[in-house]
Amino acid sequence: MRIDLATEADLPALVAAMPQQELIAERLARQVRGDGQLLVVRHNDGRPIGMVYLWREPADEPELREHLPEVPLLMHFEVLEEYRGQGIGTRLLRDAERRLQDAGHDRVALGVHPDNHDAIRLYLRSGYRPWPHGLVTTDGDKYRIYVKDLGRR
């Protein structure tokens, strides 16, 4: 298993594994502009089995812009179901955090649906803490925000 940046050439395989073509294509375009990074976890045979997007632009949500200005966000964190529970999500999360820390960020945030208990356990176990400002609405869904201090390098 390895983790690296996605490229345009990865689009067909990513969409086959995680059918979100518009979202993946849009994140790749943002990456090309330098606005973030789309990380892909690859099986030993090269197939994508997970991904996360490191959002480095100002957040779309006003609450996040107010309370977490200039804090990057982890978005669309996903590991294919058949690979969950094997430490892959933890490795992907740590890799994303390391990349942000190496880029000079000392905090990171993410949103998770309140019913996604497995993801919440992963984030809490990894040092994320709920922020005290309530749920945030994005695209009609409500998300609980978690924040982690990364420290300085």
What pLDDT, in 10s, does the model give residues 11-47?
888 888 887 888 899 999 999 999 999 999 999 998 9
Cα gap 112→102, rounded to integer Å: 24
Give the range of the structural domain holding residue 26, as residue numbers without chain letter. 2-149
* pLDDT tens digits, 87-105: 999 999 999 999 999 999 9
Q: What is the value of pTM for the model shown? A: 0.92
- Determine the Cα–Cα distance for residues 29 and 23; give it in Å rounded to an integer: 10
Average pLDDT in the 114-138 region? 94
> Residue 120 and residue 129: Cα distance in Å, rounded?
10
63, HSE (Cβ side, Cα atoms, 13 Å): 15
CATH number at residue 29: 3.40.630.30
Number of domains the chain contains:
1
